Amino acid sequence: MTRDIKRVVVTGGAGFIGSHLCRELLERGADVVCVDNLVTGSLDNVGELFARPEFTFVHHNVSDFVHVPGPVDAVLHFASPASPVDYLELPIQTLKVGSLGTHNCLGLAKDKGARFFLASTSEVYGDPLVHPQPETYWGHVNPVGPRGVYDEAKRFAEAMTMAYHRYHGVDVRIARIFNVFGPRMRPSDGRVVSNFLVQALRGEPLTVYGDGSQTRSFCYVDDEVAGLLALLYSDLTGPVNVGNPNEFTVLQLAELVLEVTGSKSEVVRRPLPQDDPTRRQPDITLARAQLGWEPKVDLREGLARTADWFRRVIAVG
Ligand code: UDP
């Protein structure tokens, strides 16, 4: 049965997905404790929430012991660098927040008798040999490559979450998140959607890595948050893929960005980063059947909304 979730801790709550989650949880009547060390998150993302008495911000690195006074019904662990550019610059911190940070947050959930929710990732599938990727696929990850710091941290986080579930009886949920985009991404985030939109709006060349034939499946943030919360309030442990199954090549994305923004930017080639996955597409059969969830916003519409937001941010930035 779905428990009453009244007070929620969101780690990484000042980040891109985390800040959308904080807002939506407040909308649904929960009290929110946002914990963030602001390494890749920003107070701008949660600025106006400070006026609400149901919102608390704690400036803390969850790789160190996490203490939250008072009752807690759910711990949502979203803290981590998530853009390849960030986790390649912060390899040790990324490994620590996925391992020690997950351990600390599980400890908090156990102590409070709270539900624990792990933000895992499609990167656990690595450069997948099975396509599209169902949750039953174990993945194809290079543990010693540069992306290993994120991929293996999240794989460890999943294993640790299941260990707490099996051995301590902690009630857990695991979501595997696929390429989310939307308002509140940083212009300098480094991921492909923000790079292309910002480049297009500034009239700069769009930087396609490799030949642009690699694929991703992009999920608009409002859809993603709806799916994540459906999982949180469900009885499903997971892991569950939460993503948009519509797959695009990077070149197709570049063309769509030029079309949506009306930009005359040219497209230039840059070297393909090491171990960049060749293709990625979630199989969301499980989420559809068990959560009654599927994405509603198509890529064109999502890009248009995100372009509007970047226009405003770049104008004031
Ligand atoms: N990419 C690109 N140009 C950019 C940034 C990324 O062509 O300016 C490519 C990248 O090589 C990858 C895809 O876009 O194939 C998605 O990259 P992103 O960093 O958004 O996330 P990933 O899915 O790799 O974690």
State which residues form the domain around 207. 192-213+247-280+302-316
Q: How many residues does the chain have?
A: 317
Q: Are residues 136 and 204 in the same domain?
A: no
Q: Is the separation of the CB atoms in 85 and 189 below 8 Å?
A: yes
Cα–Cα distance, 64 to 66 (Å, whole number): 6
Is residue 147 in contact with ligand 1, taking CB distance under 6 Å?
no
Q: What is the Å distance from ligand 1's center to 128 Cα?
A: 16
Q: Specify the number of domains making up the chain.
A: 2
Q: What is the Å distance from ligand 1's center to 165 Cα?
A: 34
Q: What is the Å distance from ligand 1's center to 109 Cα?
A: 34
Model pLDDT for residues 14-24, shown as the tens digit of each residue:
999 999 999 99
Q: Are residues 156 and 273 in the same domain?
A: no
Model pLDDT for residues 214-269, shown as the tens digit of each residue:
999 999 999 999 999 999 999 999 999 999 999 999 999 999 999 999 999 999 99
Q: Which residues are catalytic?
A: 150
Q: Is the separation of the CB atoms in 175 and 118 below 8 Å?
A: yes
Q: Are residues 158 and 260 in the same domain?
A: no
3-class secondary structure, 68: coil
Is residue 302 in contact with ligand 1, taking CB distance under 6 Å?
no
**pLDDT number for residue 2:** 45
Distance from chain centroid for Cα 138: 20
**pLDDT number for residue 315:** 78
Longest CA–CA span in the chain (Å) reads 57
**Ligand 1 pocket, mutate which of 179, 191, 244, 269 (most atoms under 8 A from CB):** 191
Is residue 216 in contact with ligand 1, taking CB distance under 6 Å?
yes
Is residue 2 domain-resident? no
Q: What is the Å distance from ligand 1's center to 76 Cα?
A: 26
Q: What is the dihedral of CA 42, 158, 10, 38, to 10 degrees?
A: -20
Q: Are residues 231 and 306 in the same domain?
A: no
Instruction: Write out the chain's pLDDT in tens, 317 residues.
Output: 345 899 999 999 999 999 999 999 999 999 999 999 999 999 999 999 999 999 999 999 999 999 999 999 999 999 999 999 999 999 999 999 999 999 999 999 999 999 999 999 999 999 999 999 999 999 999 999 999 999 999 999 999 999 999 999 999 999 999 999 999 999 999 999 999 999 999 999 999 999 999 999 999 999 999 999 999 999 999 999 999 999 999 999 999 999 999 999 999 999 999 999 999 999 999 999 999 999 999 999 999 999 999 999 987 65
Supply φ then ψ for residue 283, to 5 degrees: -90, 115
Q: Are residues 151 and 27 in the same domain?
A: yes
Is residue 186 domain-resident? no
Is residue 214 in contact with ligand 1, taking CB distance under 6 Å?
yes
**Ligand 1 pocket, mutate which of 193, 244, 250 (most atoms under 8 A from CB):** 250
For the beta carbon of residue 289, count every other beta carbon within 10 angstroms. Answer: 9
Which amino acid makes up residue 206? Answer: L
For atom 16 of ligand 1, which residue has the closest CA?
Answer: 192
Q: Are residues 127 and 200 in the same domain?
A: no
For atom 6 of ligand 1, which residue has the closest CA?
Answer: 192
pTM over 0.85: yes
**pLDDT number for residue 317:** 55
**pLDDT number for residue 150:** 98
Residue 176, classified by CB atoms within 10 Å of its CB into exposed (0-12), middle (13-18) or buried (19+), is buried
**pLDDT number for residue 243:** 98
For atom 13 of ligand 1, which residue has the closest CA?
Answer: 192
Residue 211, classified by CB atoms within 10 Å of its CB into exposed (0-12), middle (13-18) or buried (19+), is exposed
Q: Find the CATH number of the domain harbouring 254.
A: 3.90.25.10
Q: What is the Å distance from ligand 1's center to 147 Cα?
A: 12
Helix and strand numbers (H, E) in the chain are 9, 13
Q: Are residues 34 and 70 in the same domain?
A: yes
* Radius of gyration of the CA atoms of the chain, in A: 19
Is residue 154 in contact with ligand 1, taking CB distance under 6 Å?
no
Which amino acid makes up residue 280? Answer: R
